[in-house]
Structure 1
Amino acid sequence: MASRAAQKRLTREYKSISENPPPYITAHPSESNILEWHYIITGPENTPYHGGQYWGTLMFPPNYPFAPPAIRMHTPSGRFQPSSRLCLSISDFHPRSFNPAWEVSTILIGLLSFMTSEEMTTGSVSASEAERKYHAARSRWWNSTGGGSHLKAENGAGKGNIKAGDGGAKFRSEWPEVDAENWKWMRENKIDTATGNRIVEPGGPSCGPQLGIAAGGSGHQAHAVVDAVIQQRDAGQGWIFRNKLVLAGAIIFVYVLIARLLGEGSS
């Protein structure tokens, strides 16, 4: 339970961050627990996180602001281990270095700054730019479906149930409007809610393997298919067409032979 000082301080900070949110950041406390805050970071331009929707939590101690919160990011990003506590100078890993003057906005700006750097710490991971862009493209799907687990999730969001497996229930309970926008986005972009991949319409253009050549198949497989196609082509053509060069040579030979015989006879 929050102390009176923490209750007063966090109430004031919620008002402040609602009226003047930092760039790329939105946050609010849970209705059931003012010590449990939920944030969404929108990936900034010119970063591999651009357009990504990164949801996480700040769990404040009852004696805040005299101790820092536990910081987690639940959405896979290629930068942090999902739902793991992050070791930062502004997190509960370093209570002695925390400054009581720092506010929720200060903490989240610091998290965003660290996210867009390449520094490593407990809870962070190393990934390529392509991998981070991949996670960014799937982030909205992941948040609202619990990583596709919505198809089998039977229980609603419970205390601490903040990760893939709850069918997106916790995200939906904290961000109902954002969740509705995500589902609309998935419908408009034809996203398979089970996998997060774009649905390919039947009969639509495809860049997949042709002629029965399996993706990653060997060169021998390719040659076998090409040979089969040639055989099918030849089977539909006559003997004369397939042997036209031989016939042409024979005709020329016979013509020359007849010409010589006629020449010798006239002489």
Structure 2
Amino acid sequence: MASKAAQKRLTKEFVAMQKDPPPFIWAVPDEKNILTWNYILRGPPDSPFAGGEFHGVLLFPSEYPFKPPGIKMLTPSGRFHPDKKICFSMSDFHPGSWNPAWSVATILTGLLSFMLSDEMTTGSVTSSDAQKRQFASKSHAWNLTQPKFKEAFPEVRCFFIVALGSLSELLYF
């Protein structure tokens, strides 16, 4: 169960992300538990993940924002093991480096940046750019077969990315 501080902070962050989502990122809290958030990272056009739709979860502790979340990516990506916690500086693997000023948007922007790097850590895998492109091309279809994805994002049947410079938005049908 979320503390009052976590509930208030995560509610505020959800409103902020709805108003101004970071580029290539979409995230929503679980309707039954605000401590669990589902996210989609979209592969930037100039990366091996271009056109990909990578679903994952943020698992916030009840002490958030004073303790960091656990982070998993569920969609096969060629970068992270599906459904295994990812170790990076903004995750619960590194509570000593956690900064309570970091938000959901900050965490997911950091995760996307880390995804685009080749740094190896707990939860990561090695693959070629060609393999990453292959995972990206299959990611949307794979997500649509997953009950967790369909429950978190029921409105997503297909989406197209419109990228105009640094502006990116989702179009749902």
- Give the TM-score, by structure 2 length: 0.90
With CA pairs under 8 Å and 6+ residues apart, which has the higher RCO, 1 or 2? 2
Q: Deviations over 1:176-207 (max 9, x none)?
A: 111x227xxxxxxxxxxxxxxxxxxxxxxxxx
CA displacement, residues 104-151 of structure 1 (integer Å, 9 cap, x when unaligned): 000000000000011111000110011101100100111111xxxxxx
| More strand as a share of residues | 2
Amino acid corresponding to residue 149 of structure 2 in structure 1: F
Query: Which residues in structure 2 correspond to 1:193-232 (within 5 Å)?
Result: none
- Residue 171 of structure 1 pairs with residue 149 of structure 2: yes
Q: Which runs of 4+ in 1 moved over 3 A?
A: none
Partner in structure 2 of residue 161 of structure 1: none
Query: Residues 69-218 of structure 1 correspond to what in structure 2 (within 5 A)?
Result: 69-145=69-145, 168-178=146-156, 180-181=157-158
Which segments of 5 or more consecutive residues in structure 2 lack a partner in the other structure?
160-173
Choose 1 or 2 for highest CA Rg. 1
- Alignment-derived partner of residue 4 in structure 2: 4
**SS of alignment partner, residue 71 of structure 1:** strand
> Over aligned residues, Cα RMSD in angstroms?
0.8
The superposition leaves residues 193-252 of structure 1 with CA deviations (integer Å, 9 ceiling, x where unpaired) of xxxxxxxxxxxxxxxxxxxxxxxxxxxxxxxxxxxxxxxxxxxxxxxxxxxxxxxxxxxx
Where 2:35 maps in the other structure, the secondary structure is: strand
Match status 1:14 vs 2:11: no
- Percent of aligned pairs sharing the same letter: 56
Structure 1 residue 46 displacement after superposition = 1.2
Secondary structure (helix, strand or coil) at the match of 2:144 reads helix
* Match of residue 210 from structure 1: none
- Ranges in structure 1 where 5+ consecutive residues have no aligned partner: 146-167, 183-267
d(CA) in 2 for partners of 1:124, 1:175? 25
Structure 1 residue 73: deviation in Å? 0.4
